[in-house]
Structure 1
Amino acid sequence: MVDGKAPVLQLMPGDEVAVALRDIQAGEVLPPFGVRAAGAIPFGHKVSLQPLAQGDVIHRLGQPIGLAIGPIVAGAHVHLHNMGFEASMAGHAIGTRLSNAPLRSPQAIPTFDGYLRADGKAGTRNYVGVLTSVNCSALVARMIADHFRDPARLMTYPGVDGVVALTHKSGCSVADGSMSMAMLRRTLAGYARHPNFAGVLLVGLGCEDNQIDQLVEEEKLVLGDSLAKLVMQETGGTRSSISRGIEMVEAMLEKASMRRRQRIPASEIMVGLQCGGSDSFSGISANPALGAAVDRLVACGGTAILAETPEIYGAENLLLERAVSNEVGERLIGLLEWWDDYTSKEPQGFDNNPSPGNKAGGLTTILEKSLGAVAKGGTTNLVEVYGYARPIDKRGLVFMDSPGFDPMSATGQVAGGANLIAFTTGRGSCFGCRPAPSIKLATNSEMFARMEEDMDINCGTILDGDNSIDEMGEVIFRQMIASASGNATKSEVLGYGDDEFAPWHVNAWL
């Protein structure tokens, strides 16, 4: 457990740096190391515990996070001005540290109150969705959903969580056969069959590249009572389409209101793991605590989806060591090689990932950020690696390829089947991801107190010395069960989740 009164924390013996647990004043002696701060060290930033020469490798949690770009004295602030990026120094050994953690017996697996769908999947919410095939149908989709924003209209349909319009900026001038079109159709199909939707209306214009009939055929969707289409050019235009769409959604709401929550084992929870607005504490408190919750979920037979490929770079060895086969490990290496080539066109390559907010929070390089990001995956084995928005068909810890941009990454996870999102943040990201409830986890108590209206759990109590990582893992796991059972998260209360729908596009638009 962290000593909440200590001024700095060395994460592993041998690390050349420690993390400031509060603002450090110049000249202050830092027990138990006896080092005197050479200057002011901001909260969450690194301080050198020993003199370093130019070119020395700097470690955090025993892992390399960068090089000294010049001499660094003991007690110095270590950040952008004196630590530089070096390409990933992570090893690529596969399957050398497999976990033998046992699964819980069926009698010991907790349950949640969810919706069991006809295909056997479990929903944590009961929405009706309005999805668009193209940007041109976005207004109609939003107007259809807006009709049901009035609580008085939804009172007629008890047990329904609402009508959600999810729109995007693509669907036309995207070539058939391109990576972007394939991912868009895969994403829309994943949402169309998502268990948190009792019914979905697909709305198109009519002349777009992303034809609804082709989407339905390629993705093997089946039109019927719970999945219908509306084409504006065939229906008579904007007003006629809105009116007809409202009628079609009302029919879906009638059926949705007949659904009832029932006891479902926690093995049917599939959680997407996200971190955004990360700070130096993400890898110390919230992320490893979320990892402890993931270990509990996986022991119940549940599934956790780690993603954001650029944010495992430099720490990929921690996943590869737990890959269950050479094939799984090689798939992960292949994704990193693709991203290495893709980011080579950026001014700073992979190291362009840490944002200004990440850096202000004490993170210096992508190698350091990745250490914290990987911690969300806990300690269990990596059982599979998936392309973006691919349906998740294996239980346990899996990885999905995605950008580091949270809305795009979470959109892919939900398309893959995630019925819950767990999102850690150190700077204070405001985020939702309908139809999946999003649990927000704060990394430090100062930010939690400042933004409590957006945060569900304060993992800063780990830094304060009040809780261990394992204790907070239990708190998060229980919150997963409660949220899956219908307890509204802060982001749901605030109304987040519609605008965060962001399918990933790779190729240039024509």
Structure 2
Amino acid sequence: MSTYHFHDIARFPESGDHVAIVTQRVEAGTEVIDTAGHSFLLSHTLLEGHRFAVRTIHKGDAVQSWGLPFGVAIEDISPGDYICNVEILEALRLRNLDFALPETPNLEDRMIPYHLDETAFTPGEQITITDTPLTFMGYPRGSSRGVGTRNYIILLSTTSQTAGFVKRLETHLMGRADQYEHIDGIVAVAHTEGGGLDEPNNRELLLRTLAGFMVHPNAGAVLAVDYGTETITNEILRAYMMEHGYPLNDVRHHFMTLEDAFDKELNRAAQLIEGWLDTVNGSLHEVTSAEHLNIVLQCGGSDAFSGISGNPLAAWVVREIIRSGGSANLAETDELIGAESYVLKNVRDIDTAR
């Protein structure tokens, strides 16, 4: 039987949690000495990233990790017990494992609706702006487009019908910008929308997204490609942008409609892009305050370690950006489900909390 001290094999996302995450495979029967000097045995072999209990949890009690309840015990749980629900066991039973699994789960996912108690609300401590903001090498795009961190030439398919064309154009131009110090690449932006015969039900969202790509500060130039016969065309996109005040004229761009043979149009587009290279490479590149940065936080395929490594690091980076006058967005609101109480601990006022 092996014996380990807790921190040799496991981590707490938050002190006071009921369960811990193993940082390596640990065999059944392993003795674990916790931070208080008490010891217990692991009930089953645990794979890296899986959890075990560090205290007694009674049937019906919430099981806590990251300082938040993430399920309910459906039987009494003892220190060292493997924490698993039905889905975990079903997934692991499909694998050719060399160890035994629990016969039954001991955890049930149970979402408890959150209710904001406005009478008990307390504003959180806000970040103080620093007198010495961080800086980065940026590409100023004028007051209406902000500052880019990169300088790309974008090949934009206005609908899914031209997605193949812009991807082929990207391949055709691969390496063409390598000799230019201030061009980060020539990239295709292809998607699956707007290519049907009927008006898309997400028309507004699609146009708004395409318009955002056109004027994004990381865009040094944009080629938008259509056939002119789709339900969303370049002309519709142009009109939408002008109607809604997008600074289209502040970015080098061209709306291209495909009318000839594929190879001829490919060469025509390539010649247009090559004619932009010197100008795009000449974009001003200078030291810029981090107040111009906006960090977007989005789930990238979370695992058990996200909450103890990647997410805290991302939060620290965002905090420093905000201290420098920048900003950040939580891009996926469904990622907040179940974490409402945590997020609302530090909002600035009741209106934000609502």
Does residue 239 (structure 1) correspond to residue 251 (structure 2)? The answer is: no
- Tell me the amino acid that sits aligned with residue 215 of structure 1: L
Q: Aligned runs of 1:436-475 on 2, under 5 Å?
A: none
Question: Deviation at 1:41?
Answer: 2.7
- Number of residue pairs matched by the alignment: 321
Alpha-carbon distance in structure 2 between the residues aligned to 1:200 and 1:328: 37
Provide the residue aligned with 2:287 in structure 1. 263
Does residue 206 (structure 1) correspond to residue 228 (structure 2)? The answer is: yes
Provide the residue aligned with 1:78 in structure 2. 83
- Tell me the amino acid that sits aligned with residue 165 of structure 1: A
- Tell me the amino acid that sits aligned with residue 99 of structure 1: E
Contact 1:7/1:31 (8 A) holds in 2: no
Provide the residue aligned with 2:28 in structure 1. 26
Provide the residue aligned with 1:215 in structure 2. 237
Q: Aligned runs of 1:359-370 on 2, under 5 Å?
A: none
Question: Deviation at 1:176?
Answer: 4.5
Alpha-carbon distance in structure 2 between the residues aligned to 1:280 and 1:177: 38
Contact 2:207/2:237 (8 A) holds in 1: yes
* DSSP-derived class of the 1:42 partner: coil
Aligned residue among 270, 289, 305 for 2:313: 289
So what's the TM-score if we normalise by structure 1? 0.58
Distance 1:72-1:5 versus aligned 2 partners, 3 A rule? closer
* DSSP-derived class of the 1:165 partner: strand
**What is the RMSD computed on CA atoms of the aligned residues?**
2.5
Aligned residue among 178, 201, 204 for 1:182: 204
Unaligned runs of 5+ in 2: 86-104
* DSSP-derived class of the 1:305 partner: strand
Alpha-carbon distance in structure 1 between the residues aligned to 2:45 and 2:303: 18
* DSSP-derived class of the 2:308 partner: coil
Does residue 304 (structure 1) correspond to residue 328 (structure 2)? The answer is: yes
Question: Deviation at 1:205?
Answer: 1.1
Does residue 63 (structure 1) correspond to residue 65 (structure 2)? The answer is: no
Moved over 6 A (4+): none
Provide the residue aligned with 1:113 in structure 2. 137
- Please list the CA deviations of residues 213-236 of structure 1 after superposition, one character each: whole Å capped at 9, or x if unmatched: 112222334368712101113xx3
So what's the TM-score if we normalise by structure 2? 0.81
Provide the residue aligned with 1:196 in structure 2. 218
- Tell me the amino acid that sits aligned with residue 150 of structure 2: R
- Tell me the amino acid that sits aligned with residue 218 of structure 1: Y
Question: Deviation at 1:129?
Answer: 0.7
Contact 1:93/1:317 (8 A) holds in 2: no
Contact 2:200/2:231 (8 A) holds in 1: no
- Tell me the amino acid that sits aligned with residue 232 of structure 2: N
Q: Aligned runs of 1:25-424 on 2, under 5 Å?
A: 25-32=27-34, 33-80=38-85, 81-93=105-117, 96-105=122-131, 108-118=132-142, 119=144, 121-151=146-176, 154-155=178-179, 157-173=180-196, 176=199, 178=201, 180-220=202-242, 221=246, 222=248, 226-233=252-259, 236-330=260-354
Alpha-carbon distance in structure 1 between the residues aligned to 2:255 and 2:273: 11
Distance 1:271-1:101 versus aligned 2 partners, 3 A rule? closer
Percent of residue pairs bearing the same amino acid type:
26
- Please list the CA deviations of residues 229-281 of structure 1 after superposition, one character each: whole Å capped at 9, or x if unmatched: 01113xx3423322322232223323202213111011112222234232212
Alpha-carbon distance in structure 2 between the residues aligned to 1:158 and 1:12: 45
**Larger-Rg structure:** 2
Question: Deviation at 1:189?
Answer: 0.8
Alpha-carbon distance in structure 1 between the residues aligned to 2:230 and 2:285: 39
- Please list the CA deviations of residues 174-207 of structure 1 after superposition, one character each: whole Å capped at 9, or x if unmatched: 75473x2222111111110011111101100111
Unaligned runs of 5+ in 1: 331-510
- Please list the CA deviations of residues 440-476 of structure 1 after superposition, one character each: whole Å capped at 9, or x if unmatched: xxxxxxxxxxxxxxxxxxxxxxxxxxxxxxxxxxxxx
Provide the residue aligned with 2:99 in structure 1. none
**Greater RCO (CA < 8 Å, at least 6 residues apart):** 1
Contact 2:197/2:230 (8 A) holds in 1: no
* DSSP-derived class of the 2:166 partner: helix
- Please list the CA deviations of residues 404-449 of structure 1 after superposition, one character each: whole Å capped at 9, or x if unmatched: xxxxxxxxxxxxxxxxxxxxxxxxxxxxxxxxxxxxxxxxxxxxxx
Contact 1:47/1:76 (8 A) holds in 2: yes
Alpha-carbon distance in structure 1 between the residues aligned to 2:298 and 2:251: 34
Question: Deviation at 1:301?
Answer: 0.7
Question: Deviation at 1:65?
Answer: 0.8
Contact 2:147/2:293 (8 A) holds in 1: yes
Distance 1:280-1:144 versus aligned 2 partners, 3 A rule? closer
Question: Deviation at 1:91?
Answer: 4.4
